[in-house]
Amino acid sequence: MIIAVRIDGRLIHGQVANLWTTKLNITRIMVVDDEVSQSAIEKSGLKLATPAGVKLSVLPYARAAENILAGRYDSQRLLIVAKKPHYLLKLVEAGVPLEEINVGNMSQSDTTTSITRSVNVDEQDVAEFKELNKHGVHLIHQMLPADSAEDFMELLNKKG
């Protein structure tokens, strides 16, 4: 069962590994990223960052969608993590029912615009967030479990 979905450029790190998994009683973290799923080095780093007792899957989006839709995680408490909205939109387009996405952290680059202190987006990200919104996915921004959730589309539209 999908408990939460988070966009975080760092994927698994202190906040995700400790605060979110504990708060939501997560039993499996799924990283959805076609490139990372092909990198043994990145995967071993993610394994090291995953808390003891929590399972980890690092999958390309097509296999992630296939496994979720086949009910492979129905008995588990699943946290899906992606670096950007791209692969989450692909999951939704494949029929995976994502109700809410927490836009936590997206790194700054030469092509990004700052939306919050921790979220920076480029034009493709904006288009993908708008598409997710059209699909009825509720987008929020919440860095830590103790923070209150903000409507991400409102934040995005203010900057747009």
pLDDT digits (tens, 9 = 90+) for 107-151: 999 999 999 999 999 999 999 999 999 999 999 999 999 999 999
pLDDT tens figures, 10-19: 999 886 778 9
pLDDT of residue 17: 76
pLDDT of residue 18: 85
pLDDT of residue 2: 97
Q: Is the pLDDT of residue 100 over 80?
A: yes
Residue recorded with tokens 């007792």: 53
Q: Is the pLDDT of residue 3 over 70?
A: yes
Distances (CA, A) of 91 to 27, 30, 63, 68, 85: 20, 12, 10, 9, 10
From 13, 135, 138, 141, the catalytic residue: 13
Question: DSSP string spanning the chain?
Answer: -EEEEEEETT-SSHIIIIIIHHHTT-SEEEEE-TTGGG-HHHHHHHHHHSPTT-EEEEE-HHHHHHHHHTTTTTTS-EEEEESSHHHHHHHHHTT----EEEEEEB---TT-EESSSSBEE-HHHHHHHHHHHHTT-EEEE-SSTTSPPEEHHHHHHHH-
pLDDT tens figures, 37-91: 999 999 999 999 999 999 999 999 999 999 999 999 999 999 999 999 999 999 9
Contact 24, 77 (CB under 8 A): yes
| Residue 13 known to be catalytic | yes
Q: Is the pLDDT of residue 160 over 70?
A: no
Residue 50 sits at φ, ψ, to 5 deg, of -80, 130
